[in-house]
Structure 1
Amino acid sequence: MSRIPGLEPPYAPEIQRQFDRIMHGAPPLRLFVVIAGNARAWEKFRAGSLLDGGPLSLREREVVIDRTCALANCEYEWGVHVKIFADAAGLTEAQIRATALDGADAPCWSESEQALITVVDALHARATLSEAEFKALSAHYNEAKIFEIVLLCGFYRTVSYLANGLDLPLEENAARFPVAA
Protein backbone atom coordinates (compact mmCIF):
# COMPACT_ATOMS: atom_id res chain seq x y z
CA MET A 1 0.00 0.00 0.00
CA SER A 2 1.26 3.45 -0.92
CA ARG A 3 1.65 6.07 1.80
CA ILE A 4 -1.01 8.09 -0.03
CA PRO A 5 -3.88 5.98 -1.33
CA GLY A 6 -4.70 6.20 -4.99
CA LEU A 7 -7.98 6.40 -6.82
CA GLU A 8 -10.21 3.37 -6.73
CA PRO A 9 -12.01 2.05 -9.80
CA PRO A 10 -14.30 2.80 -11.41
CA TYR A 11 -12.42 5.96 -12.36
CA ALA A 12 -14.10 9.16 -13.48
CA PRO A 13 -14.63 9.02 -17.26
CA GLU A 14 -11.96 11.66 -18.07
CA ILE A 15 -9.40 9.96 -15.81
CA GLN A 16 -10.21 6.61 -17.40
CA ARG A 17 -9.70 8.13 -20.88
CA GLN A 18 -6.34 9.52 -19.76
CA PHE A 19 -5.28 6.15 -18.31
CA ASP A 20 -6.37 4.40 -21.52
CA ARG A 21 -4.42 6.87 -23.65
CA ILE A 22 -1.25 6.40 -21.58
CA MET A 23 -1.57 2.67 -20.97
CA HIS A 24 -3.13 1.70 -24.33
CA GLY A 25 -6.00 -0.03 -22.54
CA ALA A 26 -3.88 -1.90 -19.96
CA PRO A 27 -4.61 -1.29 -16.27
CA PRO A 28 -2.97 1.90 -14.99
CA LEU A 29 0.29 1.75 -13.06
CA ARG A 30 0.08 2.36 -9.30
CA LEU A 31 2.12 5.53 -9.82
CA PHE A 32 -0.56 6.94 -12.13
CA VAL A 33 -3.45 5.93 -9.85
CA VAL A 34 -1.79 7.59 -6.85
CA ILE A 35 -0.83 10.82 -8.63
CA ALA A 36 -4.25 11.06 -10.33
CA GLY A 37 -5.79 11.27 -6.86
CA ASN A 38 -4.46 14.84 -6.71
CA ALA A 39 -5.83 16.78 -9.69
CA ARG A 40 -3.09 19.43 -9.72
CA ALA A 41 -0.26 16.89 -9.37
CA TRP A 42 -1.78 14.72 -12.12
CA GLU A 43 -2.14 17.67 -14.51
CA LYS A 44 1.45 18.81 -13.93
CA PHE A 45 2.80 15.25 -14.16
CA ARG A 46 1.09 14.60 -17.49
CA ALA A 47 2.28 17.97 -18.83
CA GLY A 48 5.88 17.01 -18.04
CA SER A 49 5.76 13.63 -19.75
CA LEU A 50 8.67 12.92 -22.06
CA LEU A 51 7.55 9.56 -23.48
CA ASP A 52 6.51 11.02 -26.79
CA GLY A 53 8.46 10.83 -30.02
CA GLY A 54 11.15 13.29 -28.95
CA PRO A 55 14.57 13.75 -30.54
CA LEU A 56 16.22 10.77 -28.79
CA SER A 57 15.95 7.22 -30.04
CA LEU A 58 14.01 4.83 -27.82
CA ARG A 59 17.30 3.24 -26.83
CA GLU A 60 18.93 6.55 -25.85
CA ARG A 61 15.84 7.59 -23.90
CA GLU A 62 15.69 4.32 -22.00
CA VAL A 63 19.38 4.34 -21.13
CA VAL A 64 18.90 7.79 -19.59
CA ILE A 65 15.72 6.81 -17.73
CA ASP A 66 17.01 3.46 -16.49
CA ARG A 67 20.29 4.96 -15.29
CA THR A 68 18.57 7.92 -13.61
CA CYS A 69 16.13 5.66 -11.77
CA ALA A 70 18.86 3.22 -10.75
CA LEU A 71 21.02 6.04 -9.35
CA ALA A 72 18.01 7.30 -7.39
CA ASN A 73 17.48 3.77 -6.08
CA CYS A 74 13.99 3.71 -7.61
CA GLU A 75 13.37 0.06 -8.32
CA TYR A 76 9.70 0.81 -9.01
CA GLU A 77 10.27 3.01 -12.08
CA TRP A 78 13.45 1.25 -13.22
CA GLY A 79 11.55 -2.05 -13.20
CA VAL A 80 8.56 -0.66 -15.11
CA HIS A 81 10.79 0.78 -17.82
CA VAL A 82 12.92 -2.34 -18.14
CA LYS A 83 9.81 -4.50 -18.41
CA ILE A 84 7.99 -2.31 -20.93
CA PHE A 85 10.78 -0.82 -23.06
CA ALA A 86 14.09 -2.72 -22.76
CA ASP A 87 13.40 -5.26 -25.51
CA ALA A 88 12.08 -2.66 -27.95
CA ALA A 89 15.09 -0.45 -27.14
CA GLY A 90 17.46 -3.31 -27.95
CA LEU A 91 19.03 -3.39 -24.50
CA THR A 92 20.86 -6.63 -23.73
CA GLU A 93 20.79 -8.32 -20.33
CA ALA A 94 24.34 -7.04 -19.74
CA GLN A 95 23.27 -3.47 -20.54
CA ILE A 96 20.17 -3.67 -18.35
CA ARG A 97 22.36 -4.94 -15.53
CA ALA A 98 24.93 -2.21 -16.20
CA THR A 99 22.36 0.57 -15.83
CA ALA A 100 22.06 -0.43 -12.19
CA LEU A 101 25.47 -1.85 -11.28
CA ASP A 102 28.30 -0.66 -13.55
CA GLY A 103 30.04 2.56 -14.46
CA ALA A 104 29.89 4.40 -17.76
CA ASP A 105 33.06 2.60 -18.82
CA ALA A 106 31.39 -0.84 -18.85
CA PRO A 107 32.41 -2.64 -22.05
CA CYS A 108 28.79 -3.23 -23.07
CA TRP A 109 28.32 0.46 -23.99
CA SER A 110 29.29 2.25 -27.20
CA GLU A 111 31.36 5.43 -27.00
CA SER A 112 28.26 7.60 -27.39
CA GLU A 113 26.40 5.65 -24.70
CA GLN A 114 29.38 6.01 -22.36
CA ALA A 115 29.18 9.79 -22.82
CA LEU A 116 25.44 9.63 -22.17
CA ILE A 117 25.82 7.64 -18.96
CA THR A 118 28.67 9.87 -17.78
CA VAL A 119 26.34 12.85 -18.11
CA VAL A 120 23.49 11.12 -16.26
CA ASP A 121 25.92 10.25 -13.47
CA ALA A 122 27.27 13.82 -13.30
CA LEU A 123 23.83 15.40 -13.20
CA HIS A 124 22.78 12.99 -10.47
CA ALA A 125 25.89 13.61 -8.38
CA ARG A 126 26.49 17.33 -8.94
CA ALA A 127 23.49 18.78 -10.82
CA THR A 128 25.92 20.18 -13.40
CA LEU A 129 28.33 19.15 -16.12
CA SER A 130 32.02 19.87 -16.46
CA GLU A 131 33.26 21.31 -19.73
CA ALA A 132 34.82 17.93 -20.57
CA GLU A 133 31.55 16.07 -19.92
CA PHE A 134 29.57 18.54 -22.04
CA LYS A 135 32.15 18.38 -24.82
CA ALA A 136 32.07 14.55 -24.85
CA LEU A 137 28.27 14.60 -24.96
CA SER A 138 28.24 17.25 -27.72
CA ALA A 139 30.49 15.05 -29.85
CA HIS A 140 27.60 12.57 -30.17
CA TYR A 141 24.38 14.49 -29.52
CA ASN A 142 22.97 17.72 -30.99
CA GLU A 143 21.40 20.54 -28.97
CA ALA A 144 17.85 19.14 -29.17
CA LYS A 145 19.04 15.78 -27.84
CA ILE A 146 21.09 17.43 -25.09
CA PHE A 147 18.04 19.35 -23.88
CA GLU A 148 16.03 16.12 -23.89
CA ILE A 149 18.72 14.25 -21.94
CA VAL A 150 18.84 16.91 -19.22
CA LEU A 151 15.03 17.11 -19.08
CA LEU A 152 14.73 13.32 -18.81
CA CYS A 153 17.23 13.23 -15.96
CA GLY A 154 15.27 15.86 -14.04
CA PHE A 155 11.84 14.41 -14.77
CA TYR A 156 12.80 10.87 -13.80
CA ARG A 157 14.56 12.09 -10.68
CA THR A 158 11.18 13.62 -9.77
CA VAL A 159 9.39 10.37 -10.65
CA SER A 160 11.89 8.54 -8.43
CA TYR A 161 11.15 10.95 -5.57
CA LEU A 162 7.45 10.26 -5.98
CA ALA A 163 7.73 6.49 -6.17
CA ASN A 164 10.26 6.23 -3.35
CA GLY A 165 8.77 8.94 -1.13
CA LEU A 166 5.27 7.52 -1.39
CA ASP A 167 6.65 3.98 -0.93
CA LEU A 168 4.83 2.64 -3.98
CA PRO A 169 4.65 -1.15 -3.99
CA LEU A 170 6.50 -2.65 -6.95
CA GLU A 171 4.38 -3.57 -9.96
CA GLU A 172 3.84 -7.34 -10.06
CA ASN A 173 5.33 -7.99 -13.48
CA ALA A 174 8.04 -5.33 -13.43
CA ALA A 175 11.73 -6.15 -13.46
CA ARG A 176 13.71 -6.16 -10.23
CA PHE A 177 17.12 -4.66 -9.62
CA PRO A 178 19.93 -7.08 -10.42
CA VAL A 179 21.99 -8.39 -7.55
CA ALA A 180 25.71 -7.63 -7.63
CA ALA A 181 27.82 -10.74 -8.16
Structure 2
Amino acid sequence: MSAPVPPRIEALPLPLAPELESALKELMRGAPPLLIFRTVAHNPRVLARMLAGGLLDRGSIPLRLRELIILRTTALCGAEYEWGVHAAIYGGKAQLGREELQASVHGAADAPAWNREERLVLQLADALHHRCDVDEVLWAELRSAFAEDQLIELTMLAGLYHAVSFLVNVTRVPHEAFAPGFPAT
Protein backbone atom coordinates (compact mmCIF):
# COMPACT_ATOMS: atom_id res chain seq x y z
CA MET A 1 0.00 0.00 0.00
CA SER A 2 1.28 3.47 -0.77
CA ALA A 3 2.43 5.66 2.09
CA PRO A 4 -0.46 7.46 3.77
CA VAL A 5 -0.88 11.13 3.00
CA PRO A 6 -3.07 13.50 4.96
CA PRO A 7 -6.54 14.00 3.54
CA ARG A 8 -7.21 17.32 1.86
CA ILE A 9 -10.79 17.20 3.13
CA GLU A 10 -11.30 15.34 6.40
CA ALA A 11 -14.13 12.82 6.61
CA LEU A 12 -16.93 14.07 8.83
CA PRO A 13 -16.67 12.60 12.33
CA LEU A 14 -19.16 10.08 13.63
CA PRO A 15 -21.95 10.26 14.47
CA LEU A 16 -23.18 11.99 11.35
CA ALA A 17 -26.22 14.24 11.25
CA PRO A 18 -29.42 12.15 11.44
CA GLU A 19 -30.38 12.80 7.80
CA LEU A 20 -26.93 11.63 6.64
CA GLU A 21 -27.03 8.59 8.92
CA SER A 22 -30.39 7.54 7.52
CA ALA A 23 -29.21 8.03 3.93
CA LEU A 24 -26.25 5.71 4.53
CA LYS A 25 -27.92 3.16 6.82
CA GLU A 26 -29.48 1.02 4.09
CA LEU A 27 -26.40 1.10 1.88
CA MET A 28 -23.98 0.18 4.67
CA ARG A 29 -26.22 -2.55 6.16
CA GLY A 30 -25.21 -1.79 9.73
CA ALA A 31 -21.51 -1.20 9.08
CA PRO A 32 -20.01 2.24 9.76
CA PRO A 33 -20.10 4.58 6.76
CA LEU A 34 -17.03 4.37 4.53
CA LEU A 35 -14.63 7.30 4.58
CA ILE A 36 -15.54 8.23 1.01
CA PHE A 37 -19.17 8.78 2.02
CA ARG A 38 -18.16 10.73 5.13
CA THR A 39 -15.98 12.94 2.90
CA VAL A 40 -18.67 13.53 0.28
CA ALA A 41 -21.11 14.25 3.14
CA HIS A 42 -19.59 17.74 3.35
CA ASN A 43 -22.01 18.34 0.47
CA PRO A 44 -25.24 16.47 1.37
CA ARG A 45 -26.79 17.22 -2.03
CA VAL A 46 -23.90 15.57 -3.88
CA LEU A 47 -23.95 12.64 -1.45
CA ALA A 48 -27.67 12.12 -2.08
CA ARG A 49 -27.13 12.22 -5.85
CA MET A 50 -24.14 9.88 -5.56
CA LEU A 51 -26.13 7.35 -3.55
CA ALA A 52 -29.13 7.60 -5.87
CA GLY A 53 -26.97 7.22 -8.98
CA GLY A 54 -25.03 4.19 -7.81
CA LEU A 55 -24.82 1.06 -9.93
CA LEU A 56 -24.02 -1.48 -7.22
CA ASP A 57 -27.43 -3.12 -7.32
CA ARG A 58 -28.33 -6.21 -9.33
CA GLY A 59 -27.85 -4.82 -12.77
CA SER A 60 -27.81 -6.33 -16.22
CA ILE A 61 -24.28 -7.71 -15.94
CA PRO A 62 -22.92 -10.41 -13.63
CA LEU A 63 -21.20 -9.29 -10.42
CA ARG A 64 -17.81 -10.60 -11.57
CA LEU A 65 -17.86 -8.50 -14.76
CA ARG A 66 -19.13 -5.45 -12.88
CA GLU A 67 -16.29 -5.72 -10.42
CA LEU A 68 -13.71 -6.31 -13.15
CA ILE A 69 -14.59 -3.06 -14.91
CA ILE A 70 -14.59 -1.19 -11.59
CA LEU A 71 -11.28 -2.69 -10.44
CA ARG A 72 -9.59 -2.06 -13.78
CA THR A 73 -10.92 1.50 -14.03
CA THR A 74 -9.88 2.43 -10.51
CA ALA A 75 -6.46 0.83 -11.04
CA LEU A 76 -5.92 2.77 -14.27
CA CYS A 77 -6.85 5.96 -12.42
CA GLY A 78 -4.46 5.16 -9.55
CA ALA A 79 -7.37 5.18 -7.10
CA GLU A 80 -5.91 2.75 -4.58
CA TYR A 81 -8.57 3.59 -1.97
CA GLU A 82 -11.50 2.65 -4.22
CA TRP A 83 -9.72 -0.36 -5.73
CA GLY A 84 -9.02 -1.68 -2.22
CA VAL A 85 -12.60 -1.18 -1.01
CA HIS A 86 -13.96 -3.12 -3.99
CA ALA A 87 -11.31 -5.83 -3.71
CA ALA A 88 -12.17 -6.30 -0.02
CA ILE A 89 -15.96 -6.06 -0.17
CA TYR A 90 -16.74 -7.60 -3.55
CA GLY A 91 -13.65 -9.57 -4.60
CA GLY A 92 -14.69 -12.75 -2.82
CA LYS A 93 -18.35 -12.43 -3.79
CA ALA A 94 -17.25 -12.03 -7.42
CA GLN A 95 -14.94 -15.05 -7.10
CA LEU A 96 -11.85 -13.01 -7.92
CA GLY A 97 -8.78 -14.66 -6.46
CA ARG A 98 -5.49 -13.07 -5.47
CA GLU A 99 -3.94 -13.56 -8.93
CA GLU A 100 -6.99 -12.10 -10.67
CA LEU A 101 -7.02 -9.09 -8.36
CA GLN A 102 -3.33 -8.56 -9.13
CA ALA A 103 -4.03 -8.90 -12.86
CA SER A 104 -6.78 -6.28 -12.60
CA VAL A 105 -4.00 -3.83 -11.75
CA HIS A 106 -0.94 -5.16 -13.58
CA GLY A 107 -2.16 -7.73 -16.13
CA ALA A 108 -2.84 -7.51 -19.83
CA ALA A 109 -6.48 -7.37 -20.87
CA ASP A 110 -5.91 -10.15 -23.37
CA ALA A 111 -4.16 -12.54 -20.95
CA PRO A 112 -5.21 -16.17 -21.42
CA ALA A 113 -6.42 -16.38 -17.79
CA TRP A 114 -9.49 -14.30 -18.68
CA ASN A 115 -12.47 -15.72 -20.54
CA ARG A 116 -13.81 -13.91 -23.61
CA GLU A 117 -16.29 -11.68 -21.76
CA GLU A 118 -13.73 -10.78 -19.09
CA ARG A 119 -11.15 -9.86 -21.74
CA LEU A 120 -13.70 -7.66 -23.49
CA VAL A 121 -14.64 -5.90 -20.26
CA LEU A 122 -10.98 -5.20 -19.47
CA GLN A 123 -10.36 -4.02 -23.04
CA LEU A 124 -13.38 -1.73 -22.75
CA ALA A 125 -12.06 -0.24 -19.49
CA ASP A 126 -8.62 0.27 -21.07
CA ALA A 127 -10.03 1.90 -24.22
CA LEU A 128 -12.38 4.20 -22.32
CA HIS A 129 -9.59 5.28 -19.98
CA HIS A 130 -6.98 5.89 -22.67
CA ARG A 131 -9.15 7.10 -25.59
CA CYS A 132 -12.60 7.87 -24.14
CA ASP A 133 -13.97 5.74 -26.99
CA VAL A 134 -13.73 2.27 -28.52
CA ASP A 135 -12.71 1.44 -32.06
CA GLU A 136 -15.01 -0.39 -34.46
CA VAL A 137 -13.25 -3.74 -34.01
CA LEU A 138 -13.68 -3.74 -30.23
CA TRP A 139 -17.25 -2.44 -30.57
CA ALA A 140 -18.15 -5.32 -32.88
CA GLU A 141 -16.71 -7.81 -30.39
CA LEU A 142 -18.56 -6.15 -27.52
CA ARG A 143 -21.83 -6.21 -29.51
CA SER A 144 -21.41 -9.92 -30.17
CA ALA A 145 -20.93 -10.67 -26.46
CA PHE A 146 -23.27 -8.26 -24.68
CA ALA A 147 -26.81 -6.93 -25.05
CA GLU A 148 -27.38 -3.21 -25.46
CA ASP A 149 -28.48 -2.71 -21.84
CA GLN A 150 -25.27 -4.40 -20.70
CA LEU A 151 -23.10 -2.22 -22.95
CA ILE A 152 -24.72 0.89 -21.53
CA GLU A 153 -24.24 -0.32 -17.97
CA LEU A 154 -20.59 -1.27 -18.53
CA THR A 155 -19.84 2.10 -20.12
CA MET A 156 -21.61 4.00 -17.34
CA LEU A 157 -19.75 1.99 -14.68
CA ALA A 158 -16.42 2.97 -16.23
CA GLY A 159 -17.47 6.61 -16.35
CA LEU A 160 -18.89 6.62 -12.82
CA TYR A 161 -15.73 5.07 -11.40
CA HIS A 162 -13.57 7.61 -13.20
CA ALA A 163 -15.51 10.27 -11.27
CA VAL A 164 -15.18 8.32 -8.01
CA SER A 165 -11.44 7.90 -8.68
CA PHE A 166 -11.05 11.63 -9.27
CA LEU A 167 -12.80 12.32 -5.96
CA VAL A 168 -10.75 9.91 -3.82
CA ASN A 169 -7.49 10.97 -5.46
CA VAL A 170 -8.12 14.72 -5.21
CA THR A 171 -9.43 14.65 -1.63
CA ARG A 172 -6.88 12.02 -0.52
CA VAL A 173 -9.44 9.80 1.21
CA PRO A 174 -7.43 7.69 3.69
CA HIS A 175 -7.38 3.93 3.19
CA GLU A 176 -9.98 1.87 5.03
CA ALA A 177 -8.34 -0.41 7.62
CA PHE A 178 -9.96 -3.51 6.08
CA ALA A 179 -9.01 -2.75 2.46
CA PRO A 180 -5.82 -3.84 0.71
CA GLY A 181 -3.61 -1.56 -1.32
CA PHE A 182 -2.54 -2.25 -4.87
CA PRO A 183 -0.68 -5.56 -5.17
CA ALA A 184 3.03 -5.46 -5.94
CA THR A 185 4.13 -6.30 -9.47
- The question of a shared fold, defined as TM-score above 0.5 by the shorter chain, is answered with yes
Does the aligned pair in 2 maintain the 1:94–1:108 contact within 8 Å?
no
- Please say which of residues 23-32 and 88-97 is displaced more in the overlay: 88-97
In structure 2, the partner of 1:61 is: 66
Whole-angstrom distance in 2 between the partners of 1:123 and 1:162: 18
Unaligned runs of 5+ in 1: none
Indicate yes or no: 2:182 matched with 1:177: yes
Tell me the secondary structure at the aligned position of residue 145 of structure 2: coil
In structure 1, the partner of 2:30 is: 25
Q: Which structure ranks higher in relative contact order (CA pairs < 8 Å, sequence separation ≥ 6)? A: 2
In structure 2, the partner of 1:122 is: 127
Displacement of 1:41 after TM fit? 1.6
Whole-angstrom distance in 2 between the partners of 1:26 and 1:18: 13
Displacement of 1:24 after TM fit? 0.5
> Could you report, residue by residue, the CA deviation over 1:93-121 in whole angstroms, capped at 9, with x for unpaired residues?
22111100011112220011111111110
Unaligned runs of 5+ in 2: 1-5
Whole-angstrom distance in 2 between the partners of 1:78 and 1:16: 24
Aligned partner letter, 1:131: E
Does the aligned pair in 1 maintain the 2:75–2:105 contact within 8 Å?
yes
Q: How many residues align?
A: 180
- Please say which of residues 160-169 and 89-98 is displaced more in the overlay: 89-98
Would you identify which runs of 4 or more consecutive aligned residues in structure 1 move more than 2 Å?
Answer: none
In structure 2, the partner of 1:76 is: 81
Whole-angstrom distance in 1 between the partners of 2:139 and 2:154: 12
Out of 1, 7, 10, the residue aligned to residue 12 of structure 2 is 7
Tell me the secondary structure at the aligned position of residue 101 of structure 2: helix
In structure 1, the partner of 2:90 is: 85
In structure 2, the partner of 1:151 is: 156
Displacement of 1:22 after TM fit? 1.0
Indicate yes or no: 2:136 matched with 1:135: no
Alignment RMSD, CA only?
1.0
Indicate yes or no: 2:110 matched with 1:102: no
Displacement of 1:59 after TM fit? 0.5
Whole-angstrom distance in 2 between the partners of 1:100 and 1:6: 27
Displacement of 1:40 after TM fit? 2.2
Does the aligned pair in 2 maintain the 1:68–1:124 contact within 8 Å?
yes
Tell me the secondary structure at the aligned position of residue 89 of structure 1: coil
Does the aligned pair in 1 maintain the 2:80–2:182 contact within 8 Å?
yes
In structure 1, the partner of 2:3 is: none
Q: Share of identical aligned residues, percent?
A: 39
Tell me the secondary structure at the aligned position of residue 14 of structure 1: helix
> Could you report, residue by residue, the CA deviation over 1:115-144 in whole angstroms, capped at 9, with x for unpaired residues?
111111000000001011111111111101
